[in-house]
A and B are shown apart, each in its own frame.
Chain A
Amino acid sequence: MDVEPPGRNLPTADSFFAAMWDAGTGATRTHTIELTGHRVDLAFSPGLEPLLLPALAHLTSPPHGDAALRIRLWDSHSTATPLPTPPWNRADYPDGGEIRGPDTTSISIAYRFDPGALSILDRDSGRAVFWIESADSVPGWMQAAPLRTILPWFVAATGGQFVHGAGVGLDGHGVLIAGAGGSGKSTTAVLCAAAGLQFAGDDYVVIGADGDIHAAYNSAKLDDASLTLLPHLQRWVINDDPDVSKHVVLLSRALPAQVVPRLRLDAIVLPRLGVAHSRLRPASAAEALLALAPTTVFQLPGAGSPALRFMADLARRVPAFHLDLGPPDTVAAAVSELLHAGAPS
């Protein structure tokens, strides 16, 4: 890595935010969404709107009241605007992942190296900026979960928590499906939605301050095997991410009647692949926390002790079950059975 030239004056977090906000005036395509009851105004640059809005489109609502958060999402390519000078030195770049800061009590900043995307939130002014070089830089996982840094920061400030999990339900009562990649989480969620259950998210959902599951994204990420089980979803694949071999499907288009904004959380379900028949077994609170917390905190910038405590409280409060996944046509019935049984509330 190059040596920093002497004498460069770094912008403060405040001045960097102001520069990023002002540079985003090319974000002119405006939409309003409602997230956990809070109005969030989005302004997209022309290049990013078609890629980053669809996974949030089920949350769009007519503007009412004051916006709790205003976000400008812009790219340099379609707005012909370069990035302002960063608020850190060259030597501050670590070997991988992302660079954080300089955070203040009001401002959080994260730069993710791959694909090169900047997220900055100013809590005091209720504004945020997302930047990426061009629409061509947007990977499939980002289309599936846009604003995966800014929205979790915002939700945490409202007393909620983004979690790595799926949400499905019946008559407004839902389960949170937790587990790392490869556990069968996405397959379970989409099999349930395809069988007529309600769907509040596949990869990430929000647990609100009210304890309910709130939808964030209407996307699902399916591997080849899962898509083979549900061939009618193939036509709704919006992008393939070659790095992780996941197909992104928008359920708001594929199964619109199933997508709901909110479910009451009745149980946590921990799927596990490979038995003869789908069946449920009680799981301990520690097992639920092990399935939910590490995969959440390693994926969300700034998720530390408060996030772990939030999820521990959740695991103590909500009953958990292992779901041994049998043949695909038995999975939704097992989840429905749990919801019909009425987990303790």
Chain B
Amino acid sequence: MDQDRILRVNTPAVIGEVIDGDVVLINFDTGTYYLLGGAGAEIWPLLERGATPAAIEARLREAYGLADGDIRPDLDRWLEELVTEHLVAPGEPSPGDPAPDLPAATEVGEYASPTLSRFDDMQEMLLLDPIHDVAETGWPHRPADPD
């Protein structure tokens, strides 16, 4: 993963809320929703403001006091997963982007790898009846009754 390419949340299709150390995400384009755990709750607000993987790693090291240990492969794998799920997308930095903030290290606790759980059970709600024809009036016809 390009460490200097900014990642942004795929708005407006994706909405999310940080709640008690987890993040609930909803993707309106796909009908899929997600639970982010571990350090995901610290990383998501950074992605909402636009952040590079390098900046996220630096912030995590600062917040969790991680002087040693290589968290980059772990972080890269997780961020790639977010990109694959179309939750975030690479983009260019804007001049007005504020520096992302993390809570002070004492509030964060011990580092745990970010996790992503995916739920597909709502997708059928997006797969409703297609429109087959539109009348001269501009309104759709309902598909003909088979009998």
Contact = CB atoms under 8 A, between A and B. Distances in A.
A, B assembled together: yes
Interface of A: 1-2, 8, 82-83, 85-86, 88-90, 93-98, 113-116, 180, 284-286, 289-290, 293-295, 297-299, 304-305, 308-309, 312, 315-316
Nearest to B27: A294
Which applies to chain B's interface (DSSP): helix, strand, loop or mixed?
loop
Nearest to A116: B142
B137 A299 contact: no
A316 B22 CA distance: 12
Contacts of A297: 15, 26, 28
A83 B20 CA distance: 49
Interface in B124-142: 125-131, 133-134, 137-140, 142
B119 A96 contact: no
B70 interface: no
Nearest to A91: B134
Contact of A284 (B20, B31, B121): B20
B146 interface: no
B134 A2 contact: yes
B145 to A, nearest CB: 11
Contacts of A299: 125
A114 B129 contact: yes
Nearest to B15: A305
Given A82-B137, A90-B138, A304-B12, A97 B128 contact: yes
B99 interface: no
B134 A286 contact: no
B27 to A, nearest CB: 10
Nearest to A294: B33
B19 A96 contact: no
B102 interface: no
A298 B140 CA distance: 23
B85 to A, nearest CB: 15
A286 B19 CA distance: 6
B119 A294 contact: yes
Given A2-B133, A93-B131, A294-B119, A289 B12 contact: no
A294 B119 CA distance: 10
Instruction: Give me the 8 closest cross-chain CB pairs, A-B, nearest first.
Output: A286-B22, A312-B17, A294-B33, A114-B129, A90-B134, A285-B20, A86-B138, A96-B128
B24 interface: yes
A298 B31 contact: yes
Contact of B126 (A86, A298, A308): A298
A54 to B, nearest CB: 25
A290 B24 contact: yes
A299 B126 CA distance: 9
A98 B31 CA distance: 14
A225 B100 CA distance: 52
Nearest to A82: B137
B31 A113 contact: no
B35 interface: yes
Contact of A113 (B19, B22, B122, B131): B131
Contacts of B24: 286, 289-290, 293, 308, 312
